[in-house]
Each structure stands twice: as structure tokens, then as C-alpha cells.
Amino acid sequence: MSGVESASLSEVFSKIEPILSSKLKILQESVSNGFPNFLVEEPQENSILKELRKQAEDLGYSLVIRRAQEKKTLSILVVPKFRPQKADVKWNIALLFATIGTVFYAGYVSFEGNHLLNAIEYTLTLFAILVTHESSHYFTSKRHGLAASLPYFIPAIPPIGTFGAMIRAREPFKDRNQLFDVGFSGPFGGFVVACIATLIGVFTSPIKPIASVSNLSPLPFVPLLMLLVSDVVVKQNQVLILNPVAFAAWVGLIVTFLNALPTAQLDGGHVLRSFVSARVHHTISLITALSLIVLSIFVIPSFLIMGILMLLLSAYGHPGSMDDYTRVSKSRKALLFLWVAMLALSLPI
């Protein structure tokens, strides 16, 4: 974003200065990277900043709020209000149909019995998890008035048929509460559906004596939730043969776990950044990515690519929200316990 033209700087100052001075004590006015910048005293209440942001947006500007070096002061940078371009959905539609095809094919060739029914059950279950995950992101963004893309589904080869999906934020987050809500909503929504699919899948999957099963190829790891549910129905010397619904739940729980990890700009990275500074986020993000790489080397090789990707993404850090000063609400802090429980129950063992 280029700076404001010098001829317009005085106009911006004249519009924004009365707004800020009505609620805050302005200590200094300057120009930073071509944009008007105000050094102000901290407000008595965070609601003041929300009100000021709204007034600035009504005039066509956004306020980038950060703690200043001086104690109990804030830096408020005034930038033009971000206006997202019109979305082009051709790639969204193309990738959706491609992923439906690869997931359907994976379900068709990966299970014994009625191949067509298997493919339908696997596709419907897995897409129920993924669509709920991405829809939760999308509608939470809309609820906050944030522009977001439609989901980009990612096709892959069997036995899974997809690398998941993602949506792209089409404008910056306004505050930490929005950052938390968008990051939290996706994994939580997908996790709820994955839990239901786990219960249905495990209780309807065939159970056989281990001695009667030839060419058994056990899963490389099992999410804790699925392990706990399986222990209820599977006795000693028996094995659970995952049906298409159960396997889709397995995929959904793994997707939830990886997305919920506190790293980079993944969902867990958004949640982490809503609570901590950019520096702390960067440190935890790198530690998480390196831990996943170590885990892949010694325990779960299939996580190596994801670990390397997280490490690369962590190098870019996380910009946070426009208002990086206002803290997350108490109700959202309570949801952190739910976040930890979700991570634990989807943890691969």
C-alpha cells in the first residue's frame, strides 16, 4: 500500500485529528511511511478504540493501532480503508469438482464390498467435515463484516483423495476478537462433525478376530478420540476394520489436529496470534513446526511435508489485526480450554 499524497496529508490530518482528540490525548503528530501517524495516550476503555475505528471507517480510512515504545502510549497509523476486489470463483468451482472426483475415486478403490456405496459414504462424510470447517470460517468472517473467499478444495491421490481445503481472508482482520473467532470457528465446526462421524463409523464398522484377518495394514496412527471410542467396542485379540464413514472421520480428526496447531497463519496460528505478540507468536510457531518435523522423523513420517511447510510459513510471521492493542474478550479466553481439549482429542497416537 503506497503512502498518501503529500497534498492530501493535511486533509487526512484535518479529518482524523478531531475524531481522535475527542476521545484521546494526542501527544504527537507525524508522517510514517507516507501515512499520517498519531502518538496518543492509552484509552481508559477499549471500547473507545472500537468507536474511533468505526468513525474513521465511515470517512474511508482504517486505523492501524500498535503499542508505542513510550510507556502507556499508542501509535495510530491512518491508512486508506481496504476495499477488496470482486471475487473470481472459477478456481473455487473447478477445484471443488476435481476434489469431489478424487475423493469419490479414493472411496471407490479403498474399501471392500459395494464400491459405489463405499464411495458415496466416504465422499459425503468427508465433505460434511470439510465443508462445515470452511463454512464456519466463511460465515464467521461474514458475521464480522470481513471479506473472505469461497473455499479452495485441494485434490489428492488415494487413499484419502484430498489435502483438505482453505479460504483466503480478502482483507485484514480489524481486531484480535475477529482474528480469534475466524481461526477458532473452522476447526471447531469440523471437529464436531468429525466426532459424530467417529461415533457412527466406529460403531458400524466390522470387528473381526485378528487371526482371521490376512494382509492387515494398520493405520500409522490413530487420533485419541477414535482410540477411546474403539476401546469401548473392540475386545482383546480383535481388530476394527474401518468402514468408509470411520475412515473419513479419521481423516477429519487429523485435518483438525494439523490446522489447530499454533503455528504460522494456520487456524491455530490465528488463535495464538490473537493472544500474543508477533515476536512470541513467531517463536512458538517455529517451535511447533520443528517439533512436527522431529515427530515425523522418529514416529510419523507422513507428517514431514506438513512440518516443512509449517516451518517455511512460520518464517513470514503473522501480521496480526489492525487493532493489535485491544485484548481478546474474557469469553473467548474461556474457549481456549475447549481449543486445548480439541487438540488433545484429535492428537495422533
Q: Which helix (H) or strand (E) holds 271?
A: helix 267-273
Q: What is the pLDDT of residues 131-185, one digit of tens each?
A: 999 999 999 999 999 999 999 999 999 999 999 999 999 999 999 999 999 999 9
Q: What is the pLDDT of residues 272-287, one digit of tens each?
A: 999 999 999 999 999 9
DSSP string, 116-177: HHHHHHHHHHHHHHHHHHHHHHHHHHHHTT--BPPPEEEE--TTT-EEEEE--BSS--SBHH
| Residue with the three cell numbers 512460520 | 314
- pLDDT band per the 50, 70, 90 thresholds, residue 245: very high
Task: Take residue 165 and report the three cell numbers written for it.
Answer: 481445503
Cα 213 from Cα 203, distance rounded (Å): 19
Cα 290 from Cα 80, distance rounded (Å): 38
Q: What pLDDT is stored for residue 217 in this prediction?
A: 76
Fold of 6-80: Gyrase A; domain 2 (3.30.1360)
Domain ranges of the chain: 6-80, 90-345
Please compute, for residue 312, the number of CA atoms within 13 A of its CA located in the half-sphere on the CB side: 6
Q: How far apart are the first and last CA of the chain?
A: 46
Note the pTM of the prediction, 2 decimals.
0.93
Over 80: is that where the pLDDT of 7 sits?
A: no
> For residue 308, with 0-12 CB atoms within 10 Å meaning exposed, 13-18 middle and 19 or more buried, which class applies?
middle
Task: Take residue 217 and report the three cell numbers written for it.
Answer: 495394514
State the Cα angle at 293 between 287 and 299, rounded to 5°.
125
Reduced to 3 states (helix: H, G, I; strand: E, B; else coil), residue 12 is helix
348 secondary structure, DSSP code: B
Q: What pLDDT is stored for residue 3 in this prediction?
A: 64
Q: What is the pLDDT of residues 194-234, one digit of tens each?
A: 999 999 999 999 999 988 887 777 888 999 999 999 999 99
